Amino acid sequence: MFRDSFKYYKSRNPAPNLDDVIDLENPDHVKVRKIKANISDEQDENNFGLKPAEKWIIYELLDIPGLIFIQNPFTPNGQRYWIIKCLKDYSKEPYKLNIDAHNILANETWWEICFQMSERAKILLPKLRWSTLGYHHNWDTKLYSENSKSAMPMELSGLTSILAKTLGFSDFKAEAAIVNYYRMNSTLAGHTDHSEMNVAAPLFSISFGQTAIFLIGGPKQEDSANAIFLRSGDVVIMSGSSRLRYHGVPKILSTSRIPWDDNGEDNREIITYNYDDWRKARTYIVEARINMNIRQVLEPGQIVLY
Ligand code: OGA
Ligand code: MN
C-alpha cells in the first residue's frame, strides 16, 4: 500500500533499507525500454541549459507504462541557471508563494532577505515551500481559475516545450507550474494531480539539488508503490496511464555527487547567469531540493477556463 511504503521510506529511526529503490543510473535490474530522442533543429537556437538531445539517456519503466525518465539532460551551467531562476525569480511577484499568507514580505523579496547575514534570513529561508506560476494551483479548492493566473515565464515554457518535442509530445503547452522547495527534512504527501482539465497531456517534473526518493503507486491508494531515486537534473514525465497515479516524496537524501559543480566542457554554451547569484544559490542548494512541476491545464483548442 502506498501509505505503508511512504512511512517506511520516511522513517528516520530505523532508517530504511534503500536496496529496492530503483536507480536508473544502474538500470540493469529494472525493466525499462530505451527511448530515442526526436531530434529537432530548434535546439540550436536556445538550448535552455540542456545538453544536445543525442546525448540524453531516456527510459520508460515497463511496470509503470507512460512513466518516462530522462537522466539529467542539463549541463552544469544549465543546472546553475535553473536553480537561480527558482530561487531568485520564481520566488516573487507575480508568482504566488506559500509565505504570501504569512505577510512577512513587505516590499522585499524572499531572495533579497534570505541571502544576507541576519536573524531574519535564517528564519525566513526554510519557510519557502512552494510557488505557483501560470494558472495558480489553488491548494484548497484544487481548482484553477481565470481570475488567478500570471504569465508563464518564457524560459520555462521554452524548456518544457523542448523536452516535450524531444519525446514526441509536440502539442504540449506549459500553462501552470508548481515549484516545490524542499529542505532536508521536508516530505510531500501522496497525492494525484487531477486538477487539470486536460489529464491526457503529460506532466513534467524536473529536480535539482539533493536527491529525492520519489514514490509512485497506482491509481488507487491501496495499490503497491515503487520508489525511484531522483537526482539533480533528472526529469520525470507522467504521461499516458501513469498520469493519474499516486505519488509523493517521503525522503530527501544528501547527494554525494554534485553535478552543478562540474566544469562545463561545452564552450558553445549560451546560457548565462550572474556569478554572485550563483554564490548565494549554491549555499541554499547544498541542503535543499527544488522540483519544477509543469502542467498543461486546458484541452487542445480551449482558450479559457470556465
Ligand atoms: C507535485 C509533485 C514531486 C516532486 O508538485 O505535484 O508531485 O518530485 N512533486 O517534488
Ligand atoms: Mn504531483
pLDDT tens column, 283-295 = 999 999 999 999 9
- Per-position DSSP letters for 146-206, written without gaps between them: TTSB-PPPHHHHHHHHHHHHHTT-TT----EEEEEEEETT--EEEE----SS--SS-EEEE
How far lies 257's CA from each of 55, 151, 206, 233, 264, in Å? 20, 35, 18, 12, 15
How far lies 66's CA from each of 63, 103, 121, 128, in Å? 9, 41, 42, 32
> What does the block give as the cell for 266?
561545452
pLDDT reading at 43 higher than 60: no
Q: Is the CB of 208 under 6 A from ligand 1?
A: no
Segment 23-45 shows an average pLDDT of 86
pLDDT reading at 298 higher than 90: yes
Segment 220-240 shows an average pLDDT of 98
Q: Nearest bound ligand to CA 130?
A: 1
Least confident of 25-34, 85-94, 106-115, 261-270: 261-270
- Which domains, from first to last, does the chain contain? 2-295 (2.60.120.590)
Segment 23-41 shows an average pLDDT of 91
Residue 269 pLDDT class (50, 70, 90 cuts): confident
- Does residue 142 come out as left (phi exceeding 0), alpha (psi in the -120 to 50 range) or beta? left
176 CA to centre of ligand 2 in angstroms: 13
Residue 264: the pLDDT is: 65
Segment 135-151 shows an average pLDDT of 93
Residue 53: the pLDDT is: 94
Residue 265: the pLDDT is: 62
Best of 186, 204, 291, 294 for a ligand 1 pocket test (most atoms within 8 Å of beta carbon): 291
Residue 3: the pLDDT is: 97
- Sheet (strand 235-238) strand order: 32-34, 57-61, 67-71, 235-238, 203-209, 288-295, 176-183, 130-134, 96-97
Q: Is the CB of 277 under 6 A from ligand 1?
A: no
Q: Is the CB of 210 under 6 A from ligand 1?
A: no
Query: Which residue's CA is the closest to the ligand 1 atom numbered 1?
Result: 293
For 55-80, write each residue's pLDDT tens digit. 999 999 999 999 999 999 999 999 99
36 vs 119: CA distance, rounded Å: 50
117 CA to centre of ligand 1 in angstroms: 31
Q: Nearest-CA neighbor of 273 among 113, 49, 112?
A: 49
Percentage with pLDDT > 90 across the chain = 85
Query: Which residue's CA is the closest to the ligand 1 atom numbered 8?
Result: 291
Best of 9, 142, 180 for a ligand 1 pocket test (most atoms within 8 Å of beta carbon): 180
Q: Nearest bound ligand to CA 211?
A: 1
Q: Nearest bound ligand to CA 214?
A: 1
Average pLDDT, the chain: 94
Segment 121-147 shows an average pLDDT of 94
Least confident of 103-107, 149-153, 188-192: 103-107
Residue 132: the pLDDT is: 97
pLDDT reading at 46 higher than 80: no
Query: Which residue's CA is the closest to the ligand 1 atom numbered 4?
Result: 291
Residue 176 pLDDT class (50, 70, 90 cuts): very high
